[in-house]
Homo-oligomer: A and B are copies of this chain.
Amino acid sequence: MRLTVYWPGRTKNAALRELEEHYLRRIRPLASCEVVVTGTSRGLGERAAEKILEIEARGLEIRLKDDYIVCLFDGGREMTSAEFARFLGEREASGGRGTAFVVGGFLGLAGRILDRADLKLSLSRMTMSHELCRVVLLEQIFRSLSLMKGHSYAK
Protein backbone atom coordinates (compact mmCIF):
# COMPACT_ATOMS: atom_id res chain seq x y z
CA MET A 1 0.00 0.00 0.00
CA ARG A 2 1.33 3.41 -0.96
CA LEU A 3 0.33 6.34 1.23
CA THR A 4 1.36 9.95 0.73
CA VAL A 5 0.54 12.74 3.15
CA TYR A 6 0.58 16.30 1.82
CA TRP A 7 0.57 19.50 3.81
CA PRO A 8 1.67 23.06 3.09
CA GLY A 9 4.74 24.24 4.96
CA ARG A 10 7.04 22.57 7.41
CA THR A 11 5.63 21.97 10.89
CA LYS A 12 6.87 24.80 13.09
CA ASN A 13 6.44 23.22 16.51
CA ALA A 14 9.50 21.06 17.20
CA ALA A 15 7.70 18.62 19.50
CA LEU A 16 5.01 18.03 16.88
CA ARG A 17 7.71 17.49 14.25
CA GLU A 18 9.28 14.92 16.53
CA LEU A 19 5.92 13.14 16.90
CA GLU A 20 5.46 13.10 13.13
CA GLU A 21 8.81 11.30 12.87
CA HIS A 22 7.85 9.04 15.76
CA TYR A 23 4.71 7.80 14.00
CA LEU A 24 6.30 7.68 10.54
CA ARG A 25 9.02 5.38 11.91
CA ARG A 26 6.28 3.08 13.18
CA ILE A 27 4.18 3.26 10.01
CA ARG A 28 6.99 2.47 7.59
CA PRO A 29 7.49 -1.21 8.43
CA LEU A 30 3.77 -1.62 7.71
CA ALA A 31 3.26 0.47 4.57
CA SER A 32 5.03 2.85 2.23
CA CYS A 33 4.31 6.32 3.60
CA GLU A 34 5.83 9.57 2.42
CA VAL A 35 5.20 13.09 3.69
CA VAL A 36 5.30 15.80 1.01
CA VAL A 37 5.62 19.34 2.32
CA THR A 38 4.12 21.64 -0.31
CA GLY A 39 4.61 25.31 -0.98
CA THR A 40 3.20 27.94 1.28
CA SER A 41 3.02 31.69 1.46
CA ARG A 42 5.64 33.76 3.19
CA GLY A 43 5.25 37.16 4.69
CA LEU A 44 1.52 37.33 4.09
CA GLY A 45 -0.58 38.43 7.04
CA GLU A 46 -3.64 36.48 8.09
CA ARG A 47 -5.86 39.03 6.38
CA ALA A 48 -4.65 37.82 3.00
CA ALA A 49 -6.63 34.62 3.57
CA GLU A 50 -7.74 34.10 -0.02
CA LYS A 51 -4.29 34.70 -1.36
CA ILE A 52 -2.75 32.27 1.11
CA LEU A 53 -5.31 29.59 0.26
CA GLU A 54 -4.63 30.17 -3.44
CA ILE A 55 -0.86 29.86 -3.04
CA GLU A 56 -1.25 26.71 -0.95
CA ALA A 57 -3.71 25.25 -3.46
CA ARG A 58 -1.25 25.79 -6.29
CA GLY A 59 1.51 24.20 -4.20
CA LEU A 60 -0.67 21.14 -3.66
CA GLU A 61 -1.81 20.91 -7.29
CA ILE A 62 1.79 20.78 -8.50
CA ARG A 63 2.51 17.77 -6.30
CA LEU A 64 -0.74 15.78 -6.16
CA LYS A 65 -0.82 12.71 -8.36
CA ASP A 66 -3.62 10.60 -9.69
CA ASP A 67 -4.14 9.10 -6.24
CA TYR A 68 -7.29 8.44 -4.30
CA ILE A 69 -7.51 11.75 -2.44
CA VAL A 70 -8.60 12.09 1.18
CA CYS A 71 -8.93 15.71 2.30
CA LEU A 72 -9.10 16.50 5.99
CA PHE A 73 -12.11 18.73 6.43
CA ASP A 74 -14.05 19.89 9.51
CA GLY A 75 -17.36 19.08 7.88
CA GLY A 76 -16.14 15.73 6.56
CA ARG A 77 -17.11 12.20 7.49
CA GLU A 78 -16.23 11.02 10.97
CA MET A 79 -15.06 7.45 11.36
CA THR A 80 -14.17 5.21 14.25
CA SER A 81 -10.67 3.78 14.19
CA ALA A 82 -12.13 0.42 13.13
CA GLU A 83 -13.96 2.08 10.22
CA PHE A 84 -10.81 3.92 9.23
CA ALA A 85 -8.85 0.65 9.33
CA ARG A 86 -11.54 -0.93 7.14
CA PHE A 87 -11.25 1.98 4.73
CA LEU A 88 -7.46 1.55 4.50
CA GLY A 89 -7.97 -2.18 4.00
CA GLU A 90 -10.27 -1.46 1.06
CA ARG A 91 -7.72 0.93 -0.37
CA GLU A 92 -5.08 -1.79 -0.10
CA ALA A 93 -7.38 -4.40 -1.63
CA SER A 94 -8.18 -2.12 -4.57
CA GLY A 95 -4.54 -2.52 -5.54
CA GLY A 96 -4.71 0.44 -7.86
CA ARG A 97 -3.93 4.04 -7.18
CA GLY A 98 -2.10 5.10 -4.07
CA THR A 99 -3.86 7.02 -1.35
CA ALA A 100 -3.13 10.69 -0.67
CA PHE A 101 -4.07 12.46 2.55
CA VAL A 102 -4.20 16.23 2.30
CA VAL A 103 -4.08 18.34 5.48
CA GLY A 104 -4.66 22.04 5.03
CA GLY A 105 -2.77 24.91 6.57
CA PHE A 106 -4.13 27.12 9.34
CA LEU A 107 -6.86 28.34 6.99
CA GLY A 108 -7.84 24.88 5.82
CA LEU A 109 -8.01 23.95 2.14
CA ALA A 110 -9.19 25.91 -0.88
CA GLY A 111 -12.53 24.86 -2.32
CA ARG A 112 -11.02 23.53 -5.50
CA ILE A 113 -8.75 21.17 -3.55
CA LEU A 114 -11.72 19.95 -1.52
CA ASP A 115 -13.56 19.42 -4.80
CA ARG A 116 -10.90 16.92 -5.84
CA ALA A 117 -11.40 14.80 -2.72
CA ASP A 118 -12.64 11.25 -3.15
CA LEU A 119 -13.28 11.36 0.58
CA LYS A 120 -13.57 14.25 3.02
CA LEU A 121 -12.54 13.07 6.47
CA SER A 122 -13.02 14.73 9.85
CA LEU A 123 -10.76 13.56 12.67
CA SER A 124 -12.91 15.11 15.36
CA ARG A 125 -15.94 17.32 15.75
CA MET A 126 -13.55 19.59 17.61
CA THR A 127 -11.28 21.92 15.67
CA MET A 128 -7.63 21.12 16.27
CA SER A 129 -4.65 23.19 15.20
CA HIS A 130 -3.57 22.17 11.70
CA GLU A 131 -0.18 21.07 13.03
CA LEU A 132 -1.74 18.88 15.72
CA CYS A 133 -4.03 17.39 13.03
CA ARG A 134 -0.93 16.15 11.20
CA VAL A 135 0.12 14.15 14.23
CA VAL A 136 -3.36 12.83 15.01
CA LEU A 137 -3.70 11.68 11.39
CA LEU A 138 -0.34 9.88 11.42
CA GLU A 139 -1.14 8.22 14.74
CA GLN A 140 -4.46 7.09 13.30
CA ILE A 141 -2.80 5.70 10.16
CA PHE A 142 -0.34 3.82 12.37
CA ARG A 143 -3.14 2.52 14.60
CA SER A 144 -5.19 1.36 11.62
CA LEU A 145 -2.28 -0.39 9.93
CA SER A 146 -1.50 -2.12 13.23
CA LEU A 147 -5.11 -3.26 13.53
CA MET A 148 -5.04 -4.51 9.93
CA LYS A 149 -1.81 -6.41 10.45
CA GLY A 150 -3.07 -7.84 13.72
CA HIS A 151 -0.59 -6.08 15.95
CA SER A 152 -1.70 -5.23 19.45
CA TYR A 153 -1.38 -1.42 19.29
CA ALA A 154 -4.92 -0.32 19.84
CA LYS A 155 -4.80 1.80 22.94
What size tier do the contact residues of chain A reach?
A: 20 to 34
CB-CB nearest in chain B for A140: B126
Nearest B residue to A18 by beta-carbon distance?
B15
Instruction: Please tell me which one of the listed residues B84, B125, B143 contacts residue A79 in the complex, with CB atoms under 8 A apart.
Output: B125
Scoring A14, A16, A78, A127 by chain B CB atoms within 10 A of each residue's CB, the highest score goes to A127
- Contact present for B127 and A124 (CB under 8 Å): no
> How many monomers of this chain does the complex have?
2
Which residues of the partner chain B approach A128 to less than 8 Å between Cβ atoms? 136, 139-140
A132-B136, A132-B139 known; A126-B15 Cβ under 8 A: no
CB of A135 within 8 Å of the partner chain: yes
A79 touches B155 (CB 8 A): no
